[in-house]
């Protein structure tokens, strides 16, 4: 299987790429140059055919959708999660990519009371801050594309990767969840909550455990 991982400059992309490369043909991509031993293609995820060239021949895409440090302005964050995500999905459809894993965030529920049992059936409640709102719009883009264009998309809402709070998600658990999602069959659109198991964990992950076997 050939797998494309976006946001290749991030620690998660590097860890995931290293993990998957033992079984799959892995390519990283980002909007900036990245030093890596894996195959790498720089791409802005634009309209002019570069996105189609990027995904050509891929079997699956992991869209981490994280801009490099220093480029995270409000305007660019929203543009990256909407226009660029749309371009990537459109290219995936045109090149007949079988599966896209989109990594979103459980920060969409920061406004909820921490004592609430928030699962996948809850509607997101993003704040008006650019980062969570952009993720929400990214999810919406993926969902509508999956429904209208028959592209299978799995949305993994991650807790705080590398954090220590009640929504913490270790790097190993994050990598394991994505790797498992790539191997599982599923509906055209699915959302799963993923955080590490711990005492007083904020979000239940029963559905992810059943669907991904984690």
Chain segment 4-30, per-residue pLDDT in tens: 999 999 999 999 999 999 999 999 999
Residue with tokens 């990245």: 34
CA distance 116 to 101: 27
Residue with tokens 């809402």: 157
pLDDT at position 150 over 80:
no
> Which domains are seen in the chain, by residue range?
2-212 (3.40.50.720)
Q: Which residue has the higher pLDDT, 106 or 164?
A: 106
Q: In Å, how far from its chain's centre is CA 179? A: 12
pLDDT band at residue 118 using 50, 70 and 90 as cut-offs: very high
pLDDT band at residue 200 using 50, 70 and 90 as cut-offs: confident
Contacts 24+ apart (CB under 8 A), 22-28: 25/1, 26/2, 27/2, 27/3, 27/58, 28/4
CB 151 within 8 A of CB 189: no
pLDDT of residue 80: 96
């Amino acid at each position: 299987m050939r797998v494309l991982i976006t946001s290749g400059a991030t620690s998660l992309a590097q860890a995931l790429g290293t993990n998957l490369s033992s079984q799959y043909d892995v390519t990283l991509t980002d909007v900036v140059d990245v030093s890596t031993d894996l195959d790498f293609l720089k791409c802005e995820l634009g309209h002019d055919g570069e996105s189609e060239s990027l995904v050509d021949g891929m079997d699956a895409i992991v869209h981490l959708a994280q801009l490099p440090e220093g480029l995270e302005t409000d305007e660019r964050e929203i543009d990256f999660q909407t226009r660029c995500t749309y371009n990537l999905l459109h290219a995936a459809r045109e090149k007949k990519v079988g599966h896209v894993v989109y990594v979103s965030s459980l920060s969409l529920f920061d406004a909820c009371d921490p004592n609430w049992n928030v699962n996948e059936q809850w509607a997101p409640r993003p704040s008006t801050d650019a980062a969570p709102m952009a993720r929400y719009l990214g999810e919406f883009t993926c969902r509508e594309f999956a429904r209208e264009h028959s592209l299978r998309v799995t949305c993994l809402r991650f807790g705080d990767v590398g954090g220590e709070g009640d929504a913490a998600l270790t790097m190993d658990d994050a990598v394991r969840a994505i790797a498992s999602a790539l191997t599982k069959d599923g509906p055209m659109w699915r959302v799963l909550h993923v955080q590490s198991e711990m005492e007083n964990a904020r979000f239940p992950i029963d559905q992810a455990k059943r669907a991904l076997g984690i």
